[in-house]
């Protein structure tokens, strides 16, 4: 079986370095290369040394178009605006892309969906098997427990995470809203401060915690008079 040539977009970041290590360790994959944002101090450095693997003889670049042309599939963990641009390149070059970037909105989401109409795209808020099972459990719970069960979603991540709530937390909230047959944006409460008044019926509340090197934990809480159900993933 031919080895799959994988390019890592955002290879100097936290997730990018982990991806480089996993690709190098895989028997059926080849690291085609990686890029960092133009102007980054990582550009030009050896990708293996950047990931703590030792020298691999592959310099980190800054051209997504060039990387996409040289790989079979690319994995993108960058920023929403950058992801929208890379999705456009992937569609034009007919190269499949895995999108792990979170925090996409509006035109950025539209760019990824447009690319998916032209080339294979895997776009997931979280690729963990446990989280994807949790999404199904939240769907079941939200369908069975009525609006008298208040729904709160609490997430915690490392101090370097730049978006809040996390993409996974929002995906859990959207799953619950769909299960209840309501429009997500009309019921989402993203943080509270001061005299907020009573909790609106049917709201889906969010709390985002940041600290240390926490790679990610999520708690979905259904609470009603006299009892509470919590579904968690770490």
Residues with a known catalytic role: 157, 161
One DSSP character per residue, the chain reads -PPEEEEEETTTSHHHHHHHHHHHH-TTEEEEEEE--TT-TTTTSBHHHHTTS---S-B-B--HHHHHHH-SEEEE-S-HHHHHHHHHHHHHHT--EEE------HHHHHHHHHHHTTS-EEE-S---HHHHHHHHHHHHHHHHS-TTSEEEEEEEE-TT--SSS-HHHHHHHHHHHHHHT--HHHHEEE---S---SPPTT-EEEEEEE-TT---EEEEEEEETTEEEEEEE-
Q: Which tokens sit at 27? A: 């028997």
Place of tokens 């990582």: 42
Question: What's the first-to-final CA gap in the chain, in angstroms?
Answer: 35
* Interatomic CA distance for residues 76 and 192, integer angstroms: 33
Phi, psi for 9 (deg, rounded to 5): -95, 115
């Amino acid at each position: 079986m031919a080895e799959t040539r994988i390019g890592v977009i955002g290879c100097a970041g936290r997730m990018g370095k982990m991806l480089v290590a996993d690709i190098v360790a895989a028997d059926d994959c080849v690291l085609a290369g990686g890029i960092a944002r133009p102007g980054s101090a990582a550009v030009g450095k050896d990708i293996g040394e950047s990931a703590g693997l030792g020298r691999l003889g592959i310099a980190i670049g800054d051209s997504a178009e060039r990387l996409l042309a040289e790989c079979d599939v690319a994995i993108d963990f960058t920023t929403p605006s950058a992801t929208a641009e890379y999705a456009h390149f992937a569609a034009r070059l007919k190269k499949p892309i895995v999108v792990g970037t979170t925090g996409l909105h509006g035109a950025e989401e539209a760019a990824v969906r447009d690319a998916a109409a032209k080339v294979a795209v895997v776009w997931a808020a979280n690729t963990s098997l446990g989280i994807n099972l949790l999404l199904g459990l939240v769907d079941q719970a939200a369908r069975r427990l009525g609006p008298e069960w208040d729904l709160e979603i609490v997430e915690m991540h490392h101090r370097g995470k730049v978006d809040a709530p996390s993409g996974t937390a929002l995906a859990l909230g959207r799953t619950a809203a769909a299960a209840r047959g309501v429009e997500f944006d009309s019921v989402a409460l993203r943080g509270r401060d001061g005299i907020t008044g009573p909790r609106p019926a049917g709201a889906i509340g969010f709390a985002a915690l940041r600290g240390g090197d926490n790679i990610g934990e999520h708690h979905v809480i259904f609470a009603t008079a006299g009892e509470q159900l919590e579904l968690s993933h770490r």
